[in-house]
């Protein structure tokens, strides 16, 4: 039950969103037990400032049911950063990746 939100100050094209969807769908399997089948994605473009400037920047928020090991998060952070850099041409030092774990996740009218 992962959910990834990509927030950026760049305008995303349809092809950007499709590329991100495809690559993030593959990347989520870095976390054991997580698959594209359960992955939900959201893309947001808005005014954002980082390090005092409006240069291209991005934050990827990854929410998961349960938890993962630090080395899996390290691998996923590296992969997400590469995907964003490749797809949106945002430099790695202008990308944050944040993780949120929960032990309660609702789906289809009930909780896991």
What predicted TM-score, i.e. pTM, was given to this entire model?
A: 0.96
What are the backbone angles phi and psi of residue 81, rounded to the nearest 5°? Answer: -60, -45
**HSE on the CB side for 45, CA within 13 Å?**
9
In this prediction, residue 79 carries a pLDDT of 98
Longest Cα–Cα distance of the chain, Å, equals: 43
In this prediction, residue 1 carries a pLDDT of 87
In this prediction, residue 4 carries a pLDDT of 98
Q: Which residue has the higher pLDDT, 82 or 1?
A: 82
Closest Cα partner for 38 from 80, 1, 7?
1
Boundaries of every domain in the chain: 3-105
In this prediction, residue 60 carries a pLDDT of 98
Q: Which residue has the tokens 């934050």?
A: 59
Q: Which residue has the tokens 């929960």?
A: 102
Which pLDDT tens digit goes with each residue over 36-89? Answer: 999 999 999 999 999 999 999 999 999 999 999 999 999 999 999 999 999 999
- Which architecture does CATH list for 3-105? 2-Layer Sandwich (3.30)
What angle separates helix 70-88 from helix 14-27, to the nearest 10 degrees?
A: 160
In this prediction, residue 40 carries a pLDDT of 98
Mean pLDDT, the chain, as a whole number? 97
């Amino acid at each position: 039950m992962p959910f990834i939100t990509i927030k950026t100050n760049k305008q995303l094209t349809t092809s950007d969103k499709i590329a991100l969807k495809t690559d993030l769908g593959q990347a989520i399997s870095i976390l054991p037990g997580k698959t594209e089948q359960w992955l939900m994605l959201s893309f947001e473009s808005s005014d954002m400032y980082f390090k005092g400037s409006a240069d291209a920047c991005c934050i990827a928020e990854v929410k998961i049911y349960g938890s993962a090991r630090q080395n899996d998060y390290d691998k996923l952070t590296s992969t997400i950063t590469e995907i964003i850099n490749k797809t949106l041409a945002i430099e790695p030092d202008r990308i944050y990746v944040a993780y949120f774990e929960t032990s309660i996740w609702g789906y289809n009218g009930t909780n896991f």
